[in-house]
Chains A and B, each alone.
Chain A
């Protein structure tokens, strides 16, 4: 319906004619007027459909010429995937470098622990039988130092083992990043589909490039995102015990 026409303008005269024909029992005029009303309504729908089609056409033209969409599909989204993969590579390398050093330091700390403890024990045994040595304060200090060195290096060895375990962050963050990489791949696929459907310019990513990797789990717990998860190992132990394991 054109904006300047009201319902009264469009249908008023026809309804009056219809009413008059009904009161006069004028079947021919009545049905002819009914047909005219129906035709007017059909014209209305056709006009609205035409407006809708023009809007859709304009939107598709705009989309087709929207450079940003093809930039996203062809460059930005694949870039995002590459960047995330690079983060995984960097953390992997850093974790392995850390573990290389731990593996080198562990035996050194162990050797120092063992050597200092052996010397301290040897001094204690030797000095027990020799009074002059027994009273020498320098030897007391050396003995105390060796005992402390053995204890300290034992602690260093323990801490190195903890640093080793702390590298699990690489696995946990890696799993989360991999989930985001899969999601980004899905966005890329949908953008590619949209471009194909609208005939937008640009190279479409292949299905193989965009195929999501199999994922048979939910990955690490993410606060505020994960639901129905346990609250740590104690919770799991309770659950397992309840299941007879």
Chain B
């Protein structure tokens, strides 16, 4: 995996943003930006300098699912890898997120191993698609 990937972490709790940022730093990813909901995240994403989006679902303002839909609806962002990292655990929600085009879904609380596996899986799938396409 390339360690110069640029991440955007979106969560309304600063504690969670800091945890994920530290986790990414430990994995060797130093370029991590933060936003506290979809409304603040979208302008950063539209700036075009983000390679990977990790977002919470339940946030005031624009929730994660709406952010995911906005990303998929924007031709410039449509292929951005998106990982939902959330406490939302209803089956219907997971199905809804999958139908909206999420690339991975991790439930809180999570372990470092699970988050690492999901990140790697998404990045490997992307790399394979890029190589094939």
Interface membership of A224, Cβ < 8 A? no
Complex Cα distance, B59 from A28, in Å, reads: 79
Complex Cα distance, B114 from A175, in Å, reads: 22
B5-43 contact mask (Cβ, 8 Å, vs A): 1 or 0: 000000101111011001100100000000000000000
- CB A233 to nearest CB in B, in angstroms, measures 5
Q: A67-106: which have CB < 8 Å to B?
A: 92, 95-96, 99, 102-103
Are A217 and B57 touching (Cβ within 8 A)? yes
- CB A185 to nearest CB in B, in angstroms, measures 14
Interface membership of A213, Cβ < 8 A? yes
Are A245 and B102 touching (Cβ within 8 A)? yes
Given contacts A219-B58, A220-B108, A245-B102, contact A230 B22 (CB under 8 A): no
Interface membership of A121, Cβ < 8 A? no
Interface membership of B51, Cβ < 8 A? no
Q: B72-124: which have CB < 8 Å to A?
A: 86-95, 98-99, 102-112, 114
- CB B36 to nearest CB in A, in angstroms, measures 12
Given contacts A165-B109, A168-B19, A217-B63, contact A175 B87 (CB under 8 A): yes
Are B114 and A171 touching (Cβ within 8 A)? no
Measured as residues with beta carbon below 8 angstroms from the partner, the interface class of chain A is: 35 or more
Interface membership of B45, Cβ < 8 A? no
Are A168 and B58 touching (Cβ within 8 A)? no
Are B94 and A217 touching (Cβ within 8 A)? no
B43-63 contact mask (Cβ, 8 Å, vs A): 1 or 0: 000000000000001111101
B94 — which chain A residues lie within 8 A by C-beta?
A: 230, 236, 239-240
- CB B90 to nearest CB in A, in angstroms, measures 5
Are B95 and A213 touching (Cβ within 8 A)? no
Are A92 and B92 touching (Cβ within 8 A)? no
- CB A183 to nearest CB in B, in angstroms, measures 15
A interface list, Cβ under 8 A from B: 92, 95-96, 99, 102-103, 161-162, 164-172, 174-175, 213-221, 226, 228-230, 232-233, 236, 239-240, 243-245
Q: Report whether over half of chain B's contact residues are helix, strand or loop; otherwise say mixed.
A: mixed
In the complex, number of A-B residue pairs with CB atoms less than 8 Å apart:
125
Complex Cα distance, B104 from A57, in Å, reads: 61
Complex Cα distance, B112 from A103, in Å, reads: 16
- CB A201 to nearest CB in B, in angstroms, measures 34
Are A236 and B16 touching (Cβ within 8 A)? no
Q: What are the nearest 4 A-B pairs in CB distance?
A: A217-B58, A220-B87, A216-B63, A229-B89
Are A162 and B109 touching (Cβ within 8 A)? no
Are A161 and B63 touching (Cβ within 8 A)? no
| In the complex, residue of chain B having the shortest beta-carbon distance to the beta carbon of A95 | B15
Q: Choose one: A92, A164, A172, A230; the contact of B23 (CB below 8 Å).
A: A164
Are B107 and A175 touching (Cβ within 8 A)? no
B26 — which chain A residues lie within 8 A by C-beta?
A: 161
Complex Cα distance, B86 from A244, in Å, reads: 20
8 cross-chain CB contacts under 8 A: A103-B22, A166-B109, A171-B16, A216-B63, A217-B87, A228-B91, A229-B91, A240-B105
